[in-house]
Amino acid sequence: MSEPVAFSDLARAAYCPRQLYYARREDRDPPPEHDRARDLAAQYDALAVAADAALATYDLAVEPPEFRSNLRASLDRHGRVADPAETAAYVRGKDAHGRVGKVHTGPLSVSIVTPGSPPEAGVWEPQSVRAVAAAKALAWREEQPVERAYVEYARHGVVRELSLTTRRKAAYRRALRAARALDGPPPRLHDDAKCGACEYREECGAKTRTLRSLLSSGD
């Protein structure tokens, strides 16, 4: 049986297999905003009633009034994220392992906590893959199904719920295959949005459209 793959590797494989190749070679520590997001996610009830001056002392991605309004709306819909059964729990499943932001019971579900920004609706694909990986690992540990997960964009006060649909599970399996098959650098994506935001773009040498137009304007 293959060794379980790290949740973080699966999220990278979903973003770009080549990025995973660089991340495995370099083994960088996660940036500090990850810890700050987890710190925010641990005190939602207090933050939802905190004054602007108090909120301004935190690493928020939006202004305090917007954060408070987002958080109150999130807690109205998904209040259980403020009272998890476990936090920062290490979970090892059959195919994947890693730390989950929160574990909820009744029904069993998981939260992924991210310092990033939410999309207009739903969640970004790498976070969906990570959430499915965490949910499946928890299901393996608890020997019962996990059908829902949450992605907490903690620095925005935004919480999105997702169900483990056939499409999401298929994306997870694709990422698992890509992570297991990695052997040498995969091809570049040529995706301006993804490459422009990628922390490994210099090593990779991918040229975004802005750079390509600058280079071609010098021809």
| Bridge partners for 152 per DSSP | 113, 159
When the beta carbons of 47 and 182 are compared against ligand SF4, the nearer one is: 182
Which range, of 44-52, 88-96, 128-136, 186-194, touches ligand SF4 by CB under 6 A?
186-194
Nearest partner of 53 among 45, 61, 44, 64, judged by Cα: 64
Distance of alpha carbon 12 from the chain centroid: 10
Q: Which of residues 4-33 bind ligand SF4 (CB under 6 A)?
A: 16, 18-19, 22
Residue 89 CA to residue 130 CA, distance in Å, equals 15
**Is 195 among the residues that bind ligand SF4 (CB under 6 A)?**
yes
- Provide the minimum distance between the beta carbon of 201 and ligand SF4 in the complex, in angstroms, as a whole number: 4
- Provide the minimum distance between the beta carbon of 151 and ligand SF4 in the complex, in angstroms, as a whole number: 20
- Burial string for 156-175 (b: 16+ CB within 10 Å, else e) reads bbbbbbbebeeebeebbeeb
- Provide the minimum distance between the beta carbon of 206 and ligand SF4 in the complex, in angstroms, as a whole number: 4
**Is 80 among the residues that bind ligand SF4 (CB under 6 A)?**
no
- Provide the minimum distance between the beta carbon of 200 and ligand SF4 in the complex, in angstroms, as a whole number: 5
**Is 204 among the residues that bind ligand SF4 (CB under 6 A)?**
yes
Residue 154 CA to residue 108 CA, distance in Å, equals 21
Q: Using the rule CB under 6 A, which residue among 10, 14, 82, 206 binds ligand SF4?
A: 206
- Provide the minimum distance between the beta carbon of 126 and ligand SF4 in the complex, in angstroms, as a whole number: 11
Which range, of 54-62, 66-74, 75-83, 191-199, touches ligand SF4 by CB under 6 A?
191-199
Residue 22 CA to residue 184 CA, distance in Å, equals 10
Q: Using the rule CB under 6 A, which residue among 11, 14, 137, 198 binds ligand SF4?
A: 198
At 216, phi and psi to the nearest 5? Answer: -70, -25
Nearest partner of 165 among 122, 196, 208, judged by Cα: 122
Are the beta carbons of 138 and 103 closer than 8 angstroms? yes
Q: Using the rule CB under 6 A, which residue among 80, 169, 194, 207 binds ligand SF4?
A: 194
**Is 124 among the residues that bind ligand SF4 (CB under 6 A)?**
no
At 139, list the tokens.
Answer: 């299901």
Q: How many residues does the chain have?
A: 219
Residues forming the site for ligand SF4 (CB under 6 A): 16, 18-19, 22, 188-189, 194-195, 198, 200-201, 204, 206
